Amino acid sequence: MMEWHLKTPLSGEDVKKLEAGDIVYISGEILTARDEAHARILEFAENGEELPFSLEGAVIYHCGPLMQQTGEGKEGKPEWKVVSAGPTTSGRMSKMTPPLLEAHNVRAIIGKGGMKNVSEALKDKCVYLAYTGGCAALAAELIKEVKTVHWLDLGMPEAVWVLRVEEFGPLIVGIDSKGRDIFAEVREKAEKVFSEIKS
């Protein structure tokens, strides 16, 4: 079990060395995206439209943060503060992730609970990092700045928030870029136990 401290944007080399079970801390920029943002990113890709943000080497955070507007800010742009920002259930994004990775070089996905049938799409390009679910107050402490927000029309939880983080973690490599998936392994074991104790 290795410990890594990575800076964004991430390269293919950065993530290929990570193995399932390793611990990772990320510094730099991460973007929140959940159900609605994923759907819109895919819509843009389908229409060949350019996104208002770059996903090249990006880290996507499955998170619908609780934010508070703190002021009007410069040039009428509102200023925001993160109140609470833990990971949301990644499983809901399982189906939309392979086409998203097809369209963009996202290098890491942070979430909770794991994802189904994405190992193939992650291969040699991306990793899934598990952050402790519900640890939203802890996560908020590691988010140092709200850089900007896109697609606020989707609502606070569904918008794309661009966040500057420092040593964001500990993140556990749940699915690595070589096809190892801790969640699938745990599930397989649980099913085996169940088949033995089932009445």
Partner 1 sequence: MSSKINRETFIRSLVDLLRKAETELSDDVVNAIRKAEAREKSPVAKSQLQAILKNIEIAETHGVPMCQDTGILIFFVELGSEFHPGFDLEAAIREAAALATKEVPLRPNAVDPLTRRNSGDNTGKGIPDINWKLVPGKQLKITVAPKGAGSENMSALRMLNPTEVGSIKDFVLETVINAGGMPCPPLTLGVGIGGSFDKAARLAKEALLEPLDIPMSEFEKEILNAVNALGIGCMGLGGSTTALAVHVKTAHCHTASLPVAVNIQCWANRHASIVLGGDE
- If one counts every other C-beta atom within 10 angstroms of the C-beta of residue 93, the result is 22
Strands (DSSP E) found in 47-184: 59-61, 66-71, 79-84, 108-111, 127-130, 143-150, 160-175
Residue of 63, 100, 109, 129 that binds partner 1 (CB under 8 A): 63
- List 71's β-bridge partners, or say none: 79
Residue list 99-138, contact with partner 1 (CB under 8 A)? 112-114, 130, 132-138
20 is written with which tokens? 């399932």
Three state DSSP letters for 89-107: EHHHHCCCHHHHHHHCCCC
Q: Of these, 5, 7, 95, 189, which contacts partner 1 (CB under 8 A)?
A: 189
Place of tokens 């060949």: 48
Q: Examine the residue annotation and report whether 5 is marked as an active-site residue of this protein.
A: no
Q: Which stretch binds partner 1 (CB under 8 A): 3-11, 46-54, 79-87, 120-128?
A: 79-87
Sign of CA dihedral 42, 48, 52, 56: positive
**With binding defined as CB under 8 A, does residue 162 bind partner 1?**
no
66 counts as binding partner 1 under rule CB under 8 A: yes
Contact string (CB under 8 A) for partner 1, positions 17-46, x = contact: ----x-x------------x----------
Closer CB to partner 1, 57 or 60, in the complex: 60
* Start-to-end Cα distance in the chain: 38
| Catalytic annotation, residues | 38
Q: Given the rule CB under 8 A, which residues bind partner 1? A: 1, 21, 23, 36, 63-66, 68, 83-86, 88-91, 112-114, 130, 132-138, 140-141, 155-157, 170, 172, 174, 182-183, 185-187, 189-191, 193-194, 197-199
